[in-house]
């Protein structure tokens, strides 16, 4: 049995809420950069980018956008068996210095992915600030990391799964 946390409409509303909150705090879009964490964070980040572009009345291409993969920065690589995680491309095609980075992931859980993401970003340069935006903040933190922006915040037990229209054909968040 799986419990739906966000259906398609609620999913889109959550993305809009996050984008709206980001825009409220960051009117100067030119110093902003949206960076999605592979895999689903990239999908959510693209949605937020699209909403932000609408709110600021600019083309999507005029907002800095990047993707990052944390595999090489994971603290649990020794725990993998012979099968190592597939490394995706990290693409930060802009100078990170002096940018306000909005780091985007789908779910905030232990905080370890975010910790690794911060390490990756710092190795690209010295951003002005980094803020965290997630679709779902599900609690159970193991590190002192909090999201500035979240679609929903709710303590959830079990495995949270996010599906995106672009990948699975439907927007959905559910608990397995």
Nearer to other proteins, 96 or 108 (CB): 96
As a dihedral over the C-alpha atoms of residue 77, residue 155, residue 101, residue 53, rounded to 10 degrees, the angle is 130
Nearer to other proteins, 58 or 122 (CB): 122
Shortest Å distance, C-beta 15 to other proteins? 28
Shortest Å distance, C-beta 105 to other proteins? 19
Nearer to other proteins, 85 or 158 (CB): 85
Count Cα neighbours of 141 within 13 Å in the Cβ-side half-sphere. Answer: 13
Any idea what DSSP says for residue 111? S
Within the chain, residue ranges assigned H as helices are 8-25, 40-56, 112-122, 165-168
Shortest Å distance, C-beta 115 to other proteins? 11
Burial label, 98 (beta-carbon count in 10 A; 0-12, 13-18, 19+): exposed
Shortest Å distance, C-beta 123 to other proteins? 4
Sites of contact with other proteins (CB under 8 A):
69, 71-73, 77-78, 81-91, 119, 122-125
The DSSP code sequence of 61-89 is: GGSEEEEE--GGG-S-GGGS-S-PPPPPP
Q: What are the strands of the beta sheet with 172-175, ordered from one edge?
A: 3-6, 172-175, 160-163
Nearer to other proteins, 60 or 119 (CB): 119
Instruction: Tell me how crowded residue 21 is: count the other CB atoms within 10 A of its CB.
Output: 15
CB 87 within 8 A of CB 70: no
Nearer to other proteins, 83 or 157 (CB): 83
Shortest Å distance, C-beta 80 to other proteins? 8
């Amino acid at each position: 049995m799986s419990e739906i946390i966000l259906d398609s409409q609620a999913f889109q509303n959550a993305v809009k809420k996050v984008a709206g909150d980001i825009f409220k705090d960051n009117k100067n879009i030119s110093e902003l950069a949206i960076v999605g964490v592979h895999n689903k964070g990239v999908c959510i980040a693209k949605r937020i980018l699209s909403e932000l572009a609408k709110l600021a009345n600019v083309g999507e291409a005029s907002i800095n956008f990047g993707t990052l993969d944390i595999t090489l920065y994971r603290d649990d690589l020794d725990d993998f068996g012979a099968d190592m995680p597939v490394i995706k491309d990290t693409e930060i095609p802009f100078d990170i210095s002096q940018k306000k980075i909005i780091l985007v992931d789908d779910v905030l859980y232990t905080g370890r992915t975010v910790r690794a993401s911060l390490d990756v970003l710092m190795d690209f340069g010295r951003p002005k600030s980094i803020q965290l935006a997630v679709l779902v903040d599900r609690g159970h933190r193991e590190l002192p990391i909090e999201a500035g922006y979240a679609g929903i915040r709710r303590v959830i037990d079990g495995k949270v799964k996010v599906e995106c229209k672009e990948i699975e054909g439907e927007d959905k968040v559910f608990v397995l």
